[in-house]
Amino acid sequence: MFFRPIDDDIKLSLSIPQYAIELFELTDNNRTFLKQWLPWLDGIKEPLDTKKFLERQLLRFQRLEALHTTIFYQNQIAGVLGYNQIDRANNIGHIGYWLGQEYNGKGIMTKSVRDLIEVGFNYYCIERIDIRCAVENSRSRAIPERLSFRKEGIIRQAEKLSDKYVDHVVYGLLKNEYTSNTGIITN
């Protein structure tokens, strides 16, 4: 496949249906971990569910509505990352992500999101990147905070998880706050 190298161990690929079996296995092995913060686990029961999801994402990519990528760490699928929604009317990219628990703590997501920011600003005419995290999801919040996103506010009861509603913190990064040639955020 075609890959974007992030470093010696990490690479991103456009998500394709051919990844369904391996991605399903990662999802299935991390059900309890992921369910803490993601609402869709009960809808993924077998590899075919993952395949259908990836097919939908590819169609949305074709329509420039989304860009879903699969993260490889040492050639194994470690998680996913993407612009889950690209709001073309307002040039906003909404980022979402998850990693298998065994891949946490290595900087994989922060490095990958940094790269996706470049892709969004340089190739997708995105002017604002939006990341929303549950207030208590400190690992997720640390990613936009490391990348100098601005904390813009709280949306109350923004998402229903399996056992509770959670408030979201909204983080934003504007293109004019970002200098692509140095990789430095300038706000």
Nearer to ligand COA among residue 157 and residue 176 (C-beta): 157
- Tell me which H or E stretch contains 77: strand 76-87
Q: Is 137 in the site for ligand COA (CB under 6 A)?
A: yes
- The nearer residue to ligand COA, 14 or 38, going by C-beta atoms, is 38
CA distances from 121 to 4, 126, 163, 183, 185 (A): 16, 5, 36, 12, 13
Does the footprint of ligand COA cover residue 99 (CB under 6 A)? yes
Counting contacts by CB under 6 A, is residue 171 touching ligand COA?
no
Stretch that binds ligand COA, among 9-17, 63-71, 83-91, 134-142 (CB under 6 A): 134-142
Q: What is the C-alpha to C-alpha distance for residues 51 and 19, in angstroms, rounded to an integer?
A: 8
Q: Which of 26, 109, 169, 173 binds ligand COA (CB under 6 A)?
A: 109
DSSP for 116-147, written as a single string? HHHHHHHHS---EEEEEEETT-HHHHHHHHHT
> Are 158 and 133 contacting, i.e. CB atoms less than 8 angstroms apart?
no
Residue 93: closest CA among 168, 173, 5: 173
Q: Mask 29-68, x = binds ligand COA (CB under 6 A)?
A: -----x--xx------------------------------
Closest CB to ligand COA among residues 54, 147: 147
Dihedral-angle region of residue 3 (phi above 0 means left; psi in -120 to 50 means alpha; beta otherwise): beta
Among 102, 107, 172, 185, binds ligand COA (CB under 6 A): 107
- By the criterion CB under 6 A, which residues form the site for ligand COA? 34, 37-38, 97-99, 104-111, 133, 137, 139-140, 143
